């Protein structure tokens, strides 16, 4: 474990994750011919919440109290696995644990809603659980296919590999489509009931716990946006080594998170809303893509 890099990574996560959310809101507003909030708006929201008092429902149990911090820590742990502005990530391993943390944190939101005892919270949590149930298998399989293709379980080795092939393309498509669902935005959103349904799981949280949940959500999204860097490294020419390679990888990281932010904003602005259970056909297609990537990785060496 590289502690200085870990500290740098975590500081970066806390700094840029709310800014990326601000960027998403700005792009969405521009696409809808609005001015939109400033880029730092999400930061202001979090600071405001941190200054407020904490109010809990009567009889709030242990899990409701621990969950916001747990959510934040899970997201930070995800970010700790990724090489951001350095070529090497702070943790030596990271492939499987990154997948596990991603899936666990997705279900944590569902738990948060169910635990508050509030009917809106329960409905919102239930909705999150359905979404996670439908989309997380695709995330797991597509990321596993990617690691298989790169021939290593460590994210560092995977990002150093410049290999390109059919698995990479199919896994990338599946992962990016899954990201749209993960983001929880339109077409998988309910704009008319934002706080009751889509954000229902947050309804009983306030003050610093809510700030932690929101920050955790932003950091998790940024960590997920970082993964496409592993697909993009295939674009680096084979002869590039040393400092030039480091600069290229860092640049691709920036491209990756900005590209994903743009993709989610555009999907949010340019699509009509799906009904939740209708969207299952979409998820089925995404899962098929993921499985296809895995099958190619194992059985079609020519396509790899």
Partner 1 sequence: MYQALLALPAFAYLVNRRAARLLLVAVQAFLLVLHAAGFYPMQLQQILVIVVSLILLLDPASNPPLIALIALIGVTPLPGILPLIAMTLLLVIALSARKSHGRAGLYAIVALSLTLILEYSGYPYAGASLVLMLVGAFPFQKWLTDLYSNYKSAGILVAFTAVIYLNENLVAYASVAQLLLFLGAFTTIVGVFQCMISRRFADFLSTIHQITFGILLVSASVVELDALFYYLLLPAALSLTVINSVHDGLGEKTGEGMFGFGGLSSSMRVEAASVLATYMVLFSLVSMVAEVLMRIGVEGSIGFTLLGCAMLFSAAASLAAFFRGYTLIFEGPSKSGVTPGGSLRLAVALVSAGDLLLALVPAWSLIVLSLASGGKPLEFESLNVLLLVMLVAASLSAAIMGGAKPVKFKSWMGGYAGVGDLQGSKGEIFTSWREIFKLVYDFKSPDDGVSGAMERANPLIILAFVAALAIVGVMI
Nearest to 108 by CA among 237, 187, 196, 212: 212
Length in residues, the chain? 304
Q: x-or-dash pattern for partner 1, window 101-120, by CB under 8 A? A: x-xx-xxx-xx--xx-xxx-
**Binding span for partner 1 by CB under 8 A among 17-25, 144-152, 156-164, 228-236:** 144-152
Decide: 145 and 290 in contact? Cβ < 8 Å: yes
- Using CB under 8 A as the binding rule, whether residue 132 contacts partner 1 is answered as yes
Q: What is the distance between the alpha carbons of residues 199 and 168, in angstroms, rounded to a whole number? A: 34
Q: What is the distance between the alpha carbons of residues 192 and 195, in angstroms, rounded to a whole number? A: 9
Task: Output the smallest distance, CB 37 to partner 1, in A.
Answer: 27
Residue 202 φ/ψ, nearest 5 degrees = -95, 0
Task: Output the smallest distance, CB 203 to partner 1, in A.
Answer: 10
- Using CB under 8 A as the binding rule, whether residue 62 contacts partner 1 is answered as yes
Q: Secondary structure of 122-159 in the HEC alphabet?
A: HHHHHHHHHHHHHHHHHHHHHHHHHHHHHCCCCHHHHH
Decide: 265 and 28 in contact? Cβ < 8 Å: yes
With respect to partner 1, which residue has the nearer C-beta, 85 or 298? 298
E strand or H helix at 201, and its extent?
Answer: none
> Scanning the structure block, which residue is given the tokens 């680096």?
236
- Using CB under 8 A as the binding rule, whether residue 255 contacts partner 1 is answered as no
**Binding span for partner 1 by CB under 8 A among 56-64, 166-174, 224-232, 264-272:** 56-64
- Using CB under 8 A as the binding rule, whether residue 144 contacts partner 1 is answered as yes
With respect to partner 1, which residue has the nearer C-beta, 80 or 177? 80
Q: x-or-dash pattern for partner 1, window 64-103, by CB under 8 A? A: xxx-xxx-xxx--x---------------xx-xx-xxx-x
- Using CB under 8 A as the binding rule, whether residue 170 contacts partner 1 is answered as no
Q: What is the distance between the alpha carbons of residues 77 and 108, in angstroms, rounded to a whole number? A: 14
Positions touching partner 1 (CB under 8 A) are 53-66, 68-70, 72-74, 77, 93-94, 96-97, 99-101, 103-104, 106-108, 110-111, 114-115, 117-119, 122-123, 125-126, 129-130, 132-134, 136-137, 140-141, 144, 147-148, 153, 208-209, 212, 277, 280, 294-295, 298-299
């Amino acid at each position: 474990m590289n502690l200085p890099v870990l500290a740098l990574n975590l500081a970066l996560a806390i700094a840029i994750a709310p800014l990326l959310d601000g960027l998403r809101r700005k792009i969405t507003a521009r696409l809808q011919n609005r001015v939109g909030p400033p880029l730092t708006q999400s930061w202001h929201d979090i600071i405001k919440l941190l200054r407020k008092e904490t109010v809990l429902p009567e009889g709030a149990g242990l899990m409701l109290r621990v969950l916001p911090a747990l959510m934040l820590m899970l997201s930070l742990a995800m970010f700790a696995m990724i090489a951001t502005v350095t070529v090497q990530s702070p943790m030596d391993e990271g492939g499987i644990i990154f997948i596990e943390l991603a899936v666990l944190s997705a279900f944590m939101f569902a738990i948060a809603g169910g635990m508050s005892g509030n009917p809106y919270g329960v409905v919102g949590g239930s909705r999150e659980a359905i979404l996670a149930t439908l989309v997380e298998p695709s995330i797991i399989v597509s990321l596993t296919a990617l690691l298989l293709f790169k021939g290593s379980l460590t994210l560092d080795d995977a990002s150093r590999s410049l290999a390109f092939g059919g698995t990479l393309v199919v896994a990338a498509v599946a992962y990016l489509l899954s990201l749209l669902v993960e983001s929880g935005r339109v077409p998988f959103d309910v704009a008319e009931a934002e706080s009751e349904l889509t954000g229902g799981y947050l309804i009983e949280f306030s003050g610093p716990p809510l700030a932690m949940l929101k920050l955790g959500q932003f950091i998790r999204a940024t960590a997920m946006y970082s993964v496409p860097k592993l697909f993009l490294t295939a674009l680096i020419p084979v002869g590039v080594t040393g400092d030039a390679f480091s600069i290229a990888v860092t640049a691709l990281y920036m491209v990756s998170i900005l590209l994903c932010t743009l993709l989610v904003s555009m999907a949010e602005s340019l699509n009509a809303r799906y009904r939740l259970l209708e969207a299952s056909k979409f998820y089925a297609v995404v899962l098929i893509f993921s499985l296809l990537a895995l099958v190619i990785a194992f059985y079609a060496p020519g396509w790899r």
